[in-house]
Amino acid sequence: MEAGSFGIYLFLFMGLYFEVFMLITFIEKRPAARNNSLPKRFPTVAMLVPCWNEEKTLGKTLDSLLALSYPADKLSIMVIDDGSRDNTAAIGKEYAAKYPQQISYHYKENGGKYTALNYGITHTDAEVIGCLDADSFVAQDGLIEMMKAFEANPGAMALTPAMKVFRARSVLEMMQAVEYTFGIFYKKMFDNIQAINVLPGPFSMYKREVFDKIGLFRHAHNTEDMEITFRMHSHKLQIANAHNAVVYTTVPSTVRALVKQRTRWSQGFLQNSLDYKYMYFNPRFGNFGLLVLPFALLLFVGGLYSAFYVLSRLIGGLVARVLNIQSTGVPLSVPTPHVEWFFLNTSMMTFVIIAIMSLTLVAIVLGQRIAQNKLSIVSIVCYFALFGFVAPLWLARAAWGTLTARESSWR
Amino acid sequence: MNFSRYALAFVITAAIFGTAFYITHRLDAQRVADIRTAEDTLSIDLLSTQTQFELLGSLDCSALGTQPILSDELNSLAARLSVAEQNLGTDNPQVVQLKKQYSLLEIRDYLLLQQISQKCKSLKPVYILYFYSNSGDCADCARTGDVLTYLRQTYPDLRVYSFDYHLDLSALQTLIHLKKVTNTLPAFIVNNRAPVYGFKTLEEMQTLIPELKTLATTTSATSTSSR
């Protein structure tokens, strides 16, 4: 076996191990089904909506918050304009004027998302603080489900929602819809092993004590949501997943925008990993330190390695073919495919890849069940056909950005 | 922390890898069995043709048909053997054994072709004895294989008998000795002429074999891997 393919087998083994681990976790503890009960208590909630040039989606985000099934006197919505230059201020003010009891508009100089969130946290005394990106929309019972999840997990200091893609129409959006769906599965499994890796911008909820104990959000390489999750784990603060609390988010519709977003996430992961490297392989931090962090890094490296391996072989094969044509004089022709099984690629790698893809499919199906989501076959095909081609783009950019200490950008 | 979950995941993952290894192994074994069956069938067909020829002598060449030699079957076998070599390695004892049997069939086919063409003058076969090596001492053998594959596909009646020069098979070593082929590979013998050594481009090869003009061509040639 050549050294290059040995590396691929190693990463395939680790990838498969991770998937198997997650399925065992699922079998051990299945997510509770949705029910129509209400929480015993309705704590005061402040929903922070940080925004920077969000004129296109802010109105719809606020509409979804206004439609929440939650006592109006217990819910306050804070629009925190982080120095927008578009029509965001007008929309924010209009809603604040129309719904003064619930919505307040706050303007501050541009300082980054984390500063907007911190502004909100320091200007509210609500018991629970929720964050909602201004391009996301909450399901009507979302907040109720969050409070039920807090009651079901009294030790939980923060909650993540089930994130779904809002109106996946293009091929790229459909690919992300599948990715988010099996993300729902993984998030729930991470909850089972108390190792949730990120409290995402759309609709994560924090008990006020979190900020009292560990401080406010930080810049954290433009991934303040990831950093606060790492920090919570480092302080042994429990995070749970409210899989019935659904939030819909808009996703990038162009490859350029997607790569930019994911580069920020991936680079943020690498840089935060450097900041919190003491948590890696450290049993003091449970499954988060022993499994989730090391495997996230391993899958990052593995994805990059596999992409370079495949690319180098493709380029090598292409160069060899061109040189061969030049030196032999044999004209280029399309190889005739053999139809007999004898000529099929039945290497061990083929079967291992089939196993990994099958388990990924199982995770997607389980994610659909958990989120009561329905994905089309076309979406699933889009995912398997596209993800392997686009993901290496942001992995490579994130690795380069980390190595050269270049700051990732938001948009 | 539940360490038994870590151990169980490892055992299941290892089991999946083991299953993949087992399936691959079984399919490769099935391939070897397929090649062996094909070689056995070819051997019987060759013997039948030879017997038919000996029975008829030169009395009725037409009874032997226009394609008395099993060129297509040999080509198909070569392609399968190539896959087995790729999957199991050129040093695999089973592959070496199959290759020996294949080389023997080629030699028998070649001898039968010689006999028939001597008695049946209407048959004017064009053939190449090609000697290559997989032992790392023939940098040009892969390129030569591509040229010969193309020629064989362009001229279906062209017979290419390819032999691993270093194969430990007494009949092959006798052929090499009789044809005075030295260890300067790749080497070719076209229609019983003196051996030619070294890589030849498609154009050079076509010049080297003027008889190709007498052969029918396919409208479009396709390329496959070739030893």
pLDDT at B9: 97
- Pair type for strands A45-51 and A136-138: unpaired
Alpha-helix runs per DSSP H in A72-163: 88-98, 113-122, 142-152
CA dist B38 and A387 (Å) reads: 43
N-to-C CA span, chain B: 56
Mean per-residue pLDDT pooled into runs of 10, chain A (411 residues): 84 96 95 90 97 94 96 96 94 96 95 95 96 95 96 96 94 95 95 96 96 95 95 97 96 95 94 96 96 95 94 93 88 77 89 96 93 89 93 94 74 57
Domain spans, chain B: 1-123, 124-227
Residues of chain A whose beta carbon is less than 8 angstroms from a beta carbon of chain B are 13, 16-17, 20-21, 24-25, 28, 193, 283, 286-287, 290-291, 324, 327-331, 333-336, 338, 342-343, 346-348, 351-352, 355
Among candidate residues B104, B76, B225, B77, the one with its CA nearest the CA of residue B164: B104
List phi, psi (to 5°) of A167.
Answer: 45, 75
Digitized pLDDT (tens) for each residue of chain B, 227 residues in all? 678 999 999 999 999 999 999 999 999 999 999 988 988 887 888 788 778 777 766 556 666 654 555 667 777 888 888 888 888 888 888 888 888 988 998 998 888 888 888 877 777 888 899 999 988 889 899 899 999 989 988 888 888 999 999 999 999 999 999 999 998 889 999 988 999 999 999 999 999 998 888 877 765 444 333 34
B24 contacts in A (CB within 8 Å)?
A: 346-348, 351
pLDDT at B60: 65
Helix axes A377-403, A171-192, angle to 10 degrees: 80
pLDDT at A13: 96
Considering only CB atoms, A351 lies closest to which of B8, B20, B147, namely B20
A348 contacts in B (CB within 8 Å)?
A: 17, 20-21, 24
Asked whether the CA dihedral A313, A316, A318, A320 is positive or negative, the reply is negative
Q: Does the distance separating the beta carbons of B222 and A348 come in below 8 Å?
A: no
Q: Are B167 and B131 a contacting pair, CB within 8 Å?
A: no
Q: Does the distance separating the beta carbons of A28 and B222 come in below 8 Å?
A: no
pLDDT at B223: 39
**Its pTM surpasses 0.95:** no
Asked whether the CA dihedral B112, B114, B119, B121 is positive or negative, the reply is positive
Residue B158, strand partner residues: B126
Q: How many CA atoms lie within 13 A of A240 on its CB side?
A: 19
Nearest Cα of chain A lies from the Cα of B222 at a distance, in angstroms, of: 6
Q: Are B158 and B221 a contacting pair, CB within 8 Å?
A: no
Fold of B124-227: Glutaredoxin (3.40.30)
CA angle A209, A211, A212 (to 5 degrees): 60
Considering only CB atoms, B13 lies closest to which of A16, A25, A28, namely A16
pLDDT at B70: 62
pLDDT at B218: 67
Asked whether the CA dihedral A159, A164, A166, A170 is positive or negative, the reply is positive
Q: What is the ipTM of this complex?
A: 0.89
A-interface mutation test, from B6, B8, B16, B219, most A Cβ less than 10 A away = B16
Among candidate residues A134, A133, A146, the one with its CA nearest the CA of residue A75: A146
Residue A14's CB is within 10 A of a number of other CB atoms, namely 17
pLDDT at A1: 64
Domain spans, chain A: 1-30+135-406
Q: Does the distance separating the beta carbons of A24 and B8 come in below 8 Å?
A: yes
Considering only CB atoms, B201 lies closest to which of A329, A338, A351, namely A329
B143 contacts in A (CB within 8 Å)?
A: 324, 327-328
B-interface mutation test, from A346, A347, A349, most B Cβ less than 10 A away = A346
User: To 10 degrees, the CA torsion angle through B151, B153, B156, B159?
Assistant: 50
Residue B42 burial (10 A CB sphere; 0-12, 13-18, 19+): buried
Q: Does the distance separating the beta carbons of B5 and A25 come in below 8 Å?
A: yes
